[in-house]
Chain A
Amino acid sequence: MFIISELVALLTTNLILTQALGTSTLFIAAGSRKNLLWTAITISVFTTLGSFGACLVNGLLPDNFYDLRLLFYVLVIGIIYVILLTILYFADRKNFCTTRKYVHMSAFNCAVMGTLFTISDSSFGADMSMGSYIMAGAEAGTGFIFAAFVLTAAFKRLNSKDVPAAFRGFPATLVYLGIISMAIYALL
């Protein structure tokens, strides 16, 4: 029962399927298993560490500077971006050209920035602890992985010759995501 309720919670709070955040990144991730794995991991790192930064920004930024929150979130993600690239460079210089593309792709997109704003704007945002922020960021990353797997399951069929040429690929995938999203709305 616990697993089922957790699965339902993961579905109903899924940022991609309920809020369409990071959809184009998802298309790239679902293109191959390798892209899926590394993009999902990188986005999860960004959402988790970014949530930590967002918690700090929310705590330190005075209320009358509310409009600067976006700029500070960008700076937080920018710092994580540079740190990750540096770590990757020194950890494995040979494969840096391959691995850095996932960091470039995952840093500034709706999946990451949307997660930070959704966590911060949630009704319980003001009372959340640092741990809750990080947990919510990690859950958002997990949700991305889940949505990517859902898409991967049908990716070949949606790109097959059985689908009319005009709708093959993106259009069919968008309709597919719409149907999955509709099913999730029934759970809400």
Chain B
Amino acid sequence: MNKKLSVSDGFIRRNSVLSGLMVISPIIVCGNTIMNALALIYAFSAITFTSVAVGAFVPKKLPYGVRIIIYTCLGALSYIPVKAAAEEFFPGVIDRTGIYFMLIAVNSLITVQSETKFYRFTKGKMIISLIRHILGFDAVMLVISAIRELIAYGTFCGRVVDADIVISGLGLPFGGFIILGIACGIYRCIAPNSKDTDDFGGDSDVYNF
């Protein structure tokens, strides 16, 4: 796992969601409309970038367990201003996304993956890698939400489109599981080096410790 760690990982190669199955709960449950997706993309990008960037200054001499707690606390602290801004820019979205908006703040990229995916690099490379991972999540969230909104509700960005078939079940969590599973399969077919994936789900890298 992570033997071929590269700064170019994250967006297409070794995508956090499609390859590592990280942060998939918000996609499965709340990634059913583009408006929800945009709000979660904003929350994920802002919280993850801030937390991981600040977390890079945590002394490595501290025990691993203490560092993990500090990283998670940074995520929880970043959540407060992000939520306040979301209430302004995405009214009603926090009610629609429920606990998943909060859970974004304790996603595995911040908590356990930051050590294995980002802090092995120098600060500059870490920022590049972090941005690639964030964009990787954002792209998957947006594409899957657009597909689900179109098929489940016959709308695109809330506007009704001329869809012949509407399968409303795909807007529910089980639809999220199925669509994400199919997306993972397609990703493996078309993405370069897609077989170079994590052996397990996203949290499995902690086995290295």
Chain A positions near chain B (C-beta within 8 angstroms):
18-28, 31, 67-68, 70-71, 73-75, 77-78, 81-82, 85, 100-101, 104-105, 107-110, 113-114, 117-118, 121, 164-167, 170-179, 181-182, 185
A166 surroundings in chain B (CB, below 8 A): 185-186, 188-189
Q: List 9 A-B contacts (CB under 8 A).
A: A67-B79, A113-B102, A114-B25, A166-B185, A166-B186, A170-B184, A174-B177, A178-B174, A178-B175
B63-100 contacts to A, CB under 8 A, are 64-66, 68-69, 72-73, 75-77, 79-80, 83-84, 98-99
Q: Which residue of A lies closest to B65 (CB)?
A: A85
**A104-B64, A185-B172 known; A170 and B21 CB under 8 Å?**
yes
A129 and B195 CA atoms in complex are apart in Å by: 49
Tell whether, in the assembled complex, residue B25 and residue A23 are in contact, meaning their CB atoms are under 8 Å apart: yes
A71 and B76 CA atoms in complex are apart in Å by: 5
Closest chain-B Cβ to A116's Cβ sits at a distance in Å of 9
B112 surroundings in chain A (CB, below 8 A): 104-105, 108
Closest chain-B Cβ to A110's Cβ sits at a distance in Å of 5
Other A-B contacts than A175-B181, A181-B173, A185-B173, 13 sampled, CB-CB below 8 A, are A20-B173, A74-B69, A74-B73, A101-B206, A105-B203, A108-B68, A109-B106, A117-B102, A121-B98, A170-B181, A171-B182, A175-B177, A179-B174
Tell whether, in the assembled complex, residue A81 and residue B69 are in contact, meaning their CB atoms are under 8 Å apart: yes
Q: Which residue of B lies closest to A115 (CB)?
A: B99
Closest chain-A Cβ to B36's Cβ sits at a distance in Å of 14
A174 surroundings in chain B (CB, below 8 A): 177-178, 180-181, 184
Closest chain-B Cβ to A27's Cβ sits at a distance in Å of 4
Chain B positions near chain A (C-beta within 8 angstroms):
20-22, 24-25, 28-29, 64-66, 68-69, 72-73, 75-77, 79-80, 83-84, 98-99, 102-103, 105-106, 108, 111-112, 169, 172-178, 180-182, 184-186, 188-189, 197, 200-204, 206-207, 209
A73 and B201 CA atoms in complex are apart in Å by: 24
Closest chain-B Cβ to A180's Cβ sits at a distance in Å of 8
Tell whether, in the assembled complex, residue A109 and residue B108 are in contact, meaning their CB atoms are under 8 Å apart: yes
**Total A-B pairs, Cβ < 8 A:** 167
**A25-B201, A81-B65, A110-B103 known; A20 and B29 CB under 8 Å?**
yes
A179 surroundings in chain B (CB, below 8 A): 174, 178
**A71-B73, A117-B103 known; A108 and B169 CB under 8 Å?**
no
What secondary structure prevails in chain A residues at the interface with B? helix
What secondary structure prevails in chain B residues at the interface with A? helix
Closest chain-B Cβ to A136's Cβ sits at a distance in Å of 14
A23 and B175 CA atoms in complex are apart in Å by: 15
A176 and B186 CA atoms in complex are apart in Å by: 16
Closest chain-B Cβ to A178's Cβ sits at a distance in Å of 3
**A18-B173, A167-B185, A174-B180 known; A28 and B204 CB under 8 Å?**
yes
Q: Given A68, A114, A165, which contacts B103 in the complex, CB threshold below 8 Å? A: A114
B177 surroundings in chain A (CB, below 8 A): 20, 174-175, 177-178, 181
Tell whether, in the assembled complex, residue A68 and residue B68 are in contact, meaning their CB atoms are under 8 Å apart: no
A120 and B184 CA atoms in complex are apart in Å by: 33
B200 surroundings in chain A (CB, below 8 A): 24, 27-28, 31
Tell whether, in the assembled complex, residue A110 and residue B25 are in contact, meaning their CB atoms are under 8 Å apart: yes
